Amino acid sequence: MSYTNTSDGSPGTQKWGRVLIAGGTDWPKLGRKEKGGRVEDSEHPDLLEPHILRSLSNVKAVSVHTSCAGCHTIVLDIEGTAWLFGRNQPAALGVPGVEAISENAPRQLRATDLGAPPGTIFVNAACGRSHSVLVGSNGRVWTAGLNTLGQCGHTPCSEVSTFKLVNGPLNPVTGEQEHVRAAAAGITFTLFLTGHGKIYACGSGEKGQLGNGRTGEHIATGNRTGFDIESEPIPVKGLDEKKIVHIACGQQHSIALDDEGLVYVWGYNGYCRLGLGNQKDVLTPQVVPQFAGPHTQYLGAKVSAGPSNSVVIDRQGMYYVAGKWKNTGDGSAGQPYSTFRLLQEIMGCKIRHACSGGVTHFALAPDEEEGGVMTVAWGQNAANGELGLGPEEPKSATKPQRNQPLVGINVFDIVAGQNTAFFLVTPNEKYSDLQRHPAELDTPEECLICHQDNGDPLACDKCDKPYHHTCLSPPLAAIPDGEWFCPECVRNPGAPIGIDALNLAGHYAPPAVSSSRKKVGARARDQDEVEDEDGDEDEDGDGDDDGDFDDDDDDDDVGRKRKAPVKRGAVSKRKK
């Protein structure tokens, strides 16, 4: 994620965007096999193309965090507030006794809600399969969710039901609290990256994912095999003289990048996912020879990880992948990439960003012909439409192809979950033409201020409620360009939408209104666990599946604010 780029060109501010969502939204059922086959729920549909997520459509998001092995998501906004939604088993989002939190009613959380000092905000987050991590600007970390193997950084227990402060990481020499600036998480472990570029780890050491040089394998009670569990963050070994700038985790492996461009890998190496030419687990970080120089253009620029693959983008913008990244042919379980190899189909692109989801892969590159950004997507067995290729296109794609619904959309970040994908985009004219989720809302036909059904009322970009622009206070001289949000939505950004707003009536606590939110009607015109063919993974390396993920009227004036329809009907007022 970039935390220095700006949306308006001014220095020192964060780049922000709007959240788009594609793929599955039936959080409790995603990735799980259902008896009698899967039946789609109309209230929790698969979104076959990127949709504007209404609930966060007036939130300035700076980053989105999810897991290639998980079904929950954390969005951080420009004010350092976290918005959480998705599967909540067991209490992965810090809410006990709730199966899932709807994306249409995300949970709002501030660092101060967790007892952090005044002025502390969230600056980073991470999601494992069933646990979550929040990083504060004060360098402290809070975790919640499954903790049977200490992956939350607390004494092992069935779950940490609410977000709890982690004691550490502590410097092994001085004993002082380290300042954490980022985190990453797998299924059974968590990594913490400090401001000094050091990595700490907690959780299970079964596959070497703690990077401490040992698994601690031993005979436990009942003649079962046990492994080391580190419930307090410990240093990852072999990186003492290095400054790490980026970390990423797959289900049971990790990849890191230092400030010189060297790439390090460690952990589970099934399907050669570490790209070292073999399948031997690596217990301490090992340099990947391909990105060790001496030619600087071949050094690493960015790294990412999928369930059973690793990705490196070099300083030329070339995309390399290792491990198992598809289900048939070269790159599948039977023919994994044993070392990092170029992907021929996108060799002509200068890749800026890449990520991998459960079975999906995404890349961003400059559009050399038309300008702007090109979004590339591919992945086999993408059953929920998470590639976002469109309702008339196949859900899966064996080879990389351009995402046509996003042509003309300025995408600057993509995050892929197990069955869902999220896109951070800068609003522009094309953005306003995208579908909304949910598609239809039950709103009145008359202006909410004068209660008259005449003229051409404005429709709020979030809630669809109609207003005459002359009825607003202060009144608007004309229909505004770009986005427009009604006074209620300006006061309560991130508030629940649709049926979820009705279900939570009386239970939603709107955030405090800051000075930047008090201008009603005003707005900027500047668009200010280990995978194989069936989606399961062989976690113990015995060659067999370990089972299912069971944790597991059109406005022709484009760019102008669309008017509220005269009659409500089956057709959305949004431009199709």
pTM: 0.87
User: What is the pLDDT, as a whole number, of residue 523?
Assistant: 32
In the chain, pLDDT over 90 holds for what percent of residues?
76
User: What is the pLDDT, as a whole number, of residue 9?
Assistant: 36
| pLDDT confidence tier of residue 360, bands split at 50, 70 and 90 | very high
Residue 272 · residue 280 · CB < 8 Å: no
Min mean pLDDT across 42-46, 119-123, 356-360 is at 42-46
Residue 127 · residue 167 · CB < 8 Å: no
Contacts of 1 (CB under 8 A, 6+ apart): 62, 63, 124, 413
Q: Tokens 């987050």 — which residue?
A: 125
For the cut 80, the answer to whether the pLDDT of residue 516 exceeds it is no
User: What is the pLDDT, as a whole number, of residue 501?
Assistant: 67
Tokens of 12: 């020192």
| pLDDT confidence tier of residue 14, bands split at 50, 70 and 90 | confident
Task: Specify the 3-state DSSP secondary structure of 163.
Answer: strand
- List, for residues 171-200, the tens digit of each pLDDT value: 999 999 999 999 999 999 999 999 999 999
For the cut 70, the answer to whether the pLDDT of residue 477 exceeds it is yes
User: Nearest 5°: CA angle at 265, between 262 and 267?
Assistant: 165
User: What is the pLDDT, as a whole number, of residue 454?
Assistant: 86
- List, for residues 45-59, the tens digit of each pLDDT value: 999 999 999 999 999
User: What is the pLDDT, as a whole number, of residue 220?
Assistant: 85
| pLDDT confidence tier of residue 504, bands split at 50, 70 and 90 | low
- Report the mean per-residue pLDDT for the chain: 86
Pairing of strands 47-53, 61-65: unpaired
| pLDDT confidence tier of residue 455, bands split at 50, 70 and 90 | confident
Distance CA 311, CA 567 (A): 50
Q: Pick the residue with more confidence: 468 or 512?
A: 468
Pairing of strands 47-53, 436-437: parallel
For the cut 70, the answer to whether the pLDDT of residue 238 exceeds it is yes
